[in-house]
Amino acid sequence: MKAVVVSLPCGERISQFTMTQSLEAPRPENGLPPNVIAPKRADLQGLTSPNERVLAGPVDKRAAAGFTIRGDPFRQTGSATSGSIVTLSPNASIEARGKLVRERINAAARPILTRFANRRGLSLERLRKAIGGRTPLTHPEIVRHLGGALYSEEMQRVIASHADPGLLPLKVRAGVAKMMAEPLSDAPTAAVREAFPDWNKPLAPVGSHIQPWRPNDAAVWLKCFPPNEGLLHPMDTWDGATAALWLNDPAIFTSDLLHPSEVDGTVVAFEPYGPWRPSLEVLHTLDELALEDLTYRVFIERLRREAMPFYVSERRIHVRKAIEWVTFGYQTVEDARRSVRTHDLARIRYFDRVFGENREWIYDLCGRMIAAYEWPAGFSQPELRSDFPDLDDATQ
The tens digit of pLDDT for each residue in 215-230 reads 999 999 999 999 988 8
pLDDT tens digits for 26-35?
Answer: 444 444 444 4
pLDDT at 395: 59
Find the range with the poorest average confidence among 82-96, 137-151, 315-329. Answer: 82-96
Find the range with the poorest average confidence among 241-255, 258-272, 279-293, 320-334. Answer: 258-272
Those residues with Cβ within 8 angstroms of residue 14's Cβ, 6 or more apart along the chain or in another chain = 7, 8, 70, 161
Q: What percent of the chain has pLDDT over 70?
A: 70
Q: Could you tell me the CA-to-CA distances from 218 to 33, 107, 185, 200, 226 in Å, in that order?
A: 77, 49, 20, 20, 14
Average pLDDT, the chain: 78
Find the range with the poorest average confidence among 31-35, 150-154, 160-164. Answer: 31-35
Residue pair 42/80 in contact (Cβ under 8 Å)? The answer is: no
Residue pair 329/102 in contact (Cβ under 8 Å)? The answer is: yes
Q: How far, in whole angstroms, is CA 379 from its chain's centroid?
A: 10
Those residues with Cβ within 8 angstroms of residue 308's Cβ, 6 or more apart along the chain or in another chain = 366, 369, 370
Find the range with the poorest average confidence among 31-45, 158-172, 251-265, 318-332. Answer: 31-45
Q: Sort 307 into a burial class: Cβ within 10 Å, 0-12 / 13-18 / 19+.
A: buried
pLDDT at 6: 39
Q: Could you tell me the CA-to-CA distances from 391 to 316, 337, 338, 394, 396 in Å, in that order?
A: 20, 12, 9, 5, 9
Global pTM exceeds 0.85: no
pLDDT tens digits for 88-138?
Answer: 555 678 899 999 999 999 999 999 999 999 999 999 998 999 999 999 999
> How many degrees, rounded to 5, is the angle at CA 47 between CA 41 and CA 50?
120
pLDDT at 93: 87
Nearest to 161 by CA among 97, 105, 115: 105
Q: For 281, which DSSP code?
A: H
What count of Cα atoms within 13 Å lies in the side-chain half-sphere of residue 307? Answer: 21
Whether residue 253 has pLDDT greater than 80: no
Find the range with the poorest average confidence among 68-77, 200-209, 384-393. Answer: 68-77
32 versus 66: the higher-pLDDT residue is 32
pLDDT tens digits for 321-342?
Answer: 999 999 999 999 999 999 999 9
pLDDT at 229: 81
Whether residue 43 has pLDDT greater than 50: no
Most distant CA atoms of the chain, gap in Å: 125
pLDDT at 133: 96
Whether residue 39 has pLDDT greater than 70: no
8 versus 370: the higher-pLDDT residue is 370
